[in-house]
Amino acid sequence: MDILSSRFITKEKNIHISCPACRREGRFHGFERIDGDSFMRLRVLTDGSLFMYDCPYCGETVRVEAPCLYVDKKRKIAVWNMPDRTFEITPEAVRKETDGETLRLYECRFTRTWGEMREKIVEMESGMDDRLCEIIKYGAYNLVKEEDRRLLPLESYHIDYATDGREPKKLSLVFMRSDKPDEGYIYTITDKLVEVTRDVFQPLIEGVPSLNEKGKFQRFSYDWGQKFIEQVIAAASQKERQEYNRLLGFWIHTLGKELFGMDIKPVDEKNGN
Ligand SMILES: [Zn+2]
């Protein structure tokens, strides 16, 4: 029997908060652990109010960022939302949080916000490699024109399921508008784009053992995608660089074509755009 199945259950927590609008004290009903192998999974994926505090005094709605460990025993994934940047996720901290379990057979990630946590769960349970998702996310945003970035800010740009039925391996990129908070643009990540991204980047990711340790909480975000690509280019020898440039050019061309129907001509690296 899986030890975690008896130990790891959803644990609720009341958090005292002071309303940023009216300053009055209130109590937010939150979660410090979520069993992703229960009805709570759907709530995390679909219920935006789960992490919102409605101030009973002034009516203001506030997003409450708090630590929460999400474990899905069926899919063997764990995501620890840890807004506190000073908290170090050591093996001891993990054992303490999971009542002795190390999650050593789990793919483990940590995030900084609820939004990032939800997105990470979507990426990981889709069956796609979440690192490839972040690389696609980074590459696609770089194709957004400078003047459009204010309208489509990076902070609200994210990955989501492409269909309401949350079909595996069907993901999309969502660009939310800054002027109309409920409106955005959705672009489906096609099979071809996933395939090309995997061909170009998977061998590079697998070549770095520290990126592939199960049971170790790591953060793979948009910023990670950017750094990874920059490091790959920086580490390449002169001879390899030509080959990487050719591959990256092909990948960027595929990104533009598959996502936005753009025809991007490869440019030399000094040109930049
Ligand atoms: Zn208030």
Beta carbons of 28 and 17 less than 8 angstroms apart? yes
Same-domain pairing of 262 and 160: yes
Domain count, the chain: 2
- The answer to whether residue 2 is domain-embedded is no
Q: Which two tokens stand for residue 49?
A: 């109010």
Angle between helices 191-206 and 222-235 (to 10 degrees): 60
CA 53 / ligand 1 centre spacing (Å): 10
Task: Report how far residue 112's alpha carbon sits from residue 110's, in angstroms, rounded to the nearest whole number.
Answer: 7
Compute, in degrees rounded to 10, the torsion defined by CA atoms 231, 237, 240, 241. 60
CA 48 / ligand 1 centre spacing (Å): 19
Question: What pLDDT does residue 1 have?
Answer: 41
Same-domain pairing of 134 and 253: yes
Q: What is the mean pLDDT of the chain?
A: 91
Residue position matching structure tokens 């999309």: 172
Mark the residues whose beta carbon lies below 5 A from ion ligand 1: 19, 21-22, 55, 57-58, 60
For the ranges 33-47, 54-68, 181-195, 237-251, the lowest mean pLDDT is seen at: 237-251
Task: Report how far residue 80's alpha carbon sits from residue 106's, in angstroms, rounded to the nearest whole number.
Answer: 12
Domain that holds residue 36: 7-125
Domain boundary (74, 103, 125) is at: 125
Domain boundary (106, 125, 144) is at: 125
Q: What mean pLDDT comes out for the span 172-183?
A: 93
- H or E element that contains 136: helix 130-141
Q: What mean pLDDT comes out for the span 61-72?
A: 94
Same-domain pairing of 143 and 71: no
CA 158 / ligand 1 centre spacing (Å): 29
Question: What pLDDT does residue 267 have?
Answer: 58
Same-domain pairing of 37 and 95: yes
Domain boundary (82, 98, 125) is at: 125
Residue 96 CA neighbour count, 13 Å, CB half: 6
Query: Parallel, antiparallel, or unpaired: how do β-strands 61-63 and 77-81 relate?
Result: unpaired
Beta carbons of 171 and 122 less than 8 angstroms apart? yes
- The answer to whether residue 209 is domain-embedded is yes
For the ranges 82-91, 139-148, 224-233, 235-244, the lowest mean pLDDT is seen at: 235-244
Question: What pLDDT does residue 227 have?
Answer: 96
Q: What mean pLDDT comes out for the span 190-209?
A: 95
CA 211 / ligand 1 centre spacing (Å): 43
CA 17 / ligand 1 centre spacing (Å): 10
Same-domain pairing of 135 and 21: no
CA 54 / ligand 1 centre spacing (Å): 8
For the chain, give the percent of residues with pLDDT over 70. 95
Same-domain pairing of 157 and 83: no
